[in-house]
Structure 1
Amino acid sequence: MIGAVIASFQKGANTLKGPQWVGLENYAYLLGNPSFWDVLAVTGRFLVIIIPLQVVTALFLAIILNERVPGIALVRTAVFIPVAAPAAVASVIWGIAYQPRGPINAVLESIGLPPQPFLTDSDQALQAIIVLMSWIGVGYWTLFIIAGLQEVPRELYEAAAIDGSGWWRTLVHITLPSIRRTLAFVVVADTVSSVLAFVPVQILTQGGPADSTRLVMYDLYNNTFQLGDANLGQTQVVVLLLFLVIITAVQFRMLNKEGD
């Protein structure tokens, strides 16, 4: 971290002369570069969609999987299997599924719908990446929420049933407040994980088409290793680090409120 901060104030790390101190020049260039703001806009759209999608889906699955009904163990296994798949393997599998003549388009054509371009269309590529990452991540966050649900005292549900509380009212007034701490953690951890998303983009789209999937981590990688500007890449690391520090601070504040 200290090395990244120092390098962000330098330039020419890969030259024969070695790094030269340039002060805030890298930050001025980065913040004044329209392409960087485009990357932040793409990343923002990505986060706005994927975080609510994953958290709400994980909450829904956790509530179902927490019930003691016949056959629920098989359903739990199906939900948790993607968690064990390495991101690179999952990306390759979904890359095959998204092919123009892949199984997804085969199903669409079988029911009379036109085939979709998915990863080759700038309007669909980001959504395709979101589906892939949600397939990997939802089961992981479901584990945490199930753990939170199992800590809720059963007496609360019994009292609610005696008072005639319906399913929705019980969810809103008992379940969600009781697992607020767990949900706060899941939201923050999911945000951090999504900001650091890299593998699916690197394997499937390389930021395209038309930079529609150029997330901040891929842009950082591209500047550092493809363009060879390690100092600019380290500047992005520092900016990303500051963002994650803010997210962590928000988490602590939420947990402190819960404690109060």
Structure 2
Amino acid sequence: MTTVTKTKETVAPQRKAKRPLWMRLRQSPAAAALLFLAPGLLFLVVLRIAPAVSAVASSLFHYSLLRDTTSFVGFDNYATLFRDSDFHQAVLVTLLFNVIINPLQIAVSLALAVLLNQKLAGVRFWRALVFLPIAVPPAVSAVVWDVAFQPNGLINAFLRVFGLPAQPFLTSGSQALWSIMILCSWIGVGYWMMFLISGLNDIPTSLYEASTLDGAGAWKRFWYITFPMLRRPLAFVLVADTVSNFLVFAPVQILTNGGPENATNLAMFDIYRRAFTLGNMNLAQAEVVLLMLVTLVVVAVQFRLLRSKE
């Protein structure tokens, strides 16, 4: 009799199937967040960080058009700027422009936001009307205002109706910068107003109802409820508006070309003039770096002041 012995089969352990990448990302919040942020980070590097690094590097060199050579000069470009009277004028004009226009735009934007956040007849129409200039390209807005500021333009025609003399506006050293401010405010006020209206809508109505029952008037409700609750939106608007006004270029180029007598020679236009009119790209890059540093310092001071008040 033959006995058959069954041998135990040895089965190789099966490897666990590898999950697809998208399933692993779904279970990893950090990886999923990084994946969604990747396009924005890529644009940040390509459009912001890389140009900034390039500007810093280029500002340390000098290109000779006659010899067609590039040489390392260190901080000589910065020293040249600090000795340049046109650069001094550009700095003073830019600072004066920002000191005046930033509070002006924010105050008008806040007033319009509070007004147009009320239950008024046709409030949506008025909001759209105030916001409309931001939908128009800045170059087109500049051309429209250029026509309006002419000696026979709409504004002077309006002044003549009331018996007032015509004003030179863009050809006057004392009025040209104010004319640029009017144009920039016409564009920017409606834009910042919409941010503040959004902040107003986030304030609980129960706070206003309780203050009304306590006998608080409109001014007290604004000062003790609206203004404190709008601190964060106002902080954003203040910083964004400051950066925007440091970078004003198109209105100056189209309306005044930096004149008369450098009265509207803002920093961005001065950079453009050095790079494309004078052909000194390295010196222009040095001014870009200085403008970037000044903007960062101003924004940092604003953040510090706003944080100290919280």
Q: Within 2, Cα distance between the matches of 1:40 and 1:247?
A: 14
TM-score, normalised with respect to structure 1: 0.95
- Between the two proteins, what is the percent identity of the paired residues? 48
Q: In the alignment, does 2:70 pair up with 1:19?
A: yes
Deviation at residue 169 of structure 1 after TM alignment: 1.2
Q: Within 1, Cα distance between the matches of 2:156 and 2:307?
A: 49
Deviation at residue 250 of structure 1 after TM alignment: 3.8
The match for 1:246 is 297
Q: In the alignment, does 2:135 pair up with 1:84?
A: yes
The match for 2:96 is 45
Match of 1:74 among 125, 146, 149: 125
* Bigger Cα displacement from structure 2, 156-165 vs 5-14: 5-14
Give the alignment of 1:27-42 within 5 angstroms.
27-42=78-93
Q: Within 2, Cα distance between the matches of 1:231 and 1:30?
A: 11
Q: Within 1, Cα distance between the matches of 2:93 and 2:303?
A: 27
Alignment partner of 1:55: what SS?
Answer: helix
Measured at CA, do residues 4 and 15 of structure 1 come closer, stay the same or move farther in structure 2, by a change above 3 Å? farther
Measured at CA, do residues 15 and 177 of structure 1 come closer, stay the same or move farther in structure 2, by a change above 3 Å? farther
The match for 1:216 is 267
Q: Within 1, Cα distance between the matches of 2:69 and 2:299?
A: 35
Match of 1:59 among 90, 104, 110: 110
The amino acid across from 1:47 in the alignment is N
Alignment partner of 1:19: what SS?
Answer: strand
The amino acid across from 1:166 in the alignment is G
Q: Within 1, Cα distance between the matches of 2:255 and 2:158?
A: 21
Q: Note the aligned Cα RMSD (angstroms).
A: 1.5
Match of 2:144 among 78, 83, 93: 93
Q: In the alignment, does 2:246 pair up with 1:195?
A: yes
The match for 2:157 is 106
The gaps in structure 1 that reach 5 residues or longer are none
Q: Within 1, Cα distance between the matches of 2:82 and 2:61?
A: 16
Contact 1:43/1:195 (<8 A) preserved = yes
Q: Work out the number of aligned pairs and report it.
A: 259
Measured at CA, do residues 218 and 62 of structure 1 come closer, stay the same or move farther in structure 2, by a change above 3 Å? same
Deviation at residue 13 of structure 1 after TM alignment: 5.9
Match of 2:278 among 227, 230, 240: 227
Deviation at residue 257 of structure 1 after TM alignment: 5.2
The amino acid across from 2:239 in the alignment is V
Alignment partner of 2:128: what SS?
Answer: helix
Contact 1:14/1:229 (<8 A) preserved = no
The amino acid across from 1:151 in the alignment is D
Contact 1:43/1:216 (<8 A) preserved = yes
Q: Within 1, Cα distance between the matches of 2:119 and 2:195?
A: 18
Contact 1:185/1:251 (<8 A) preserved = no
Alignment partner of 2:69: what SS?
Answer: coil
Contact 1:13/1:231 (<8 A) preserved = no
- Highest RCO, 1 vs 2 (Cα 8 Å, sep ≥ 6): 1
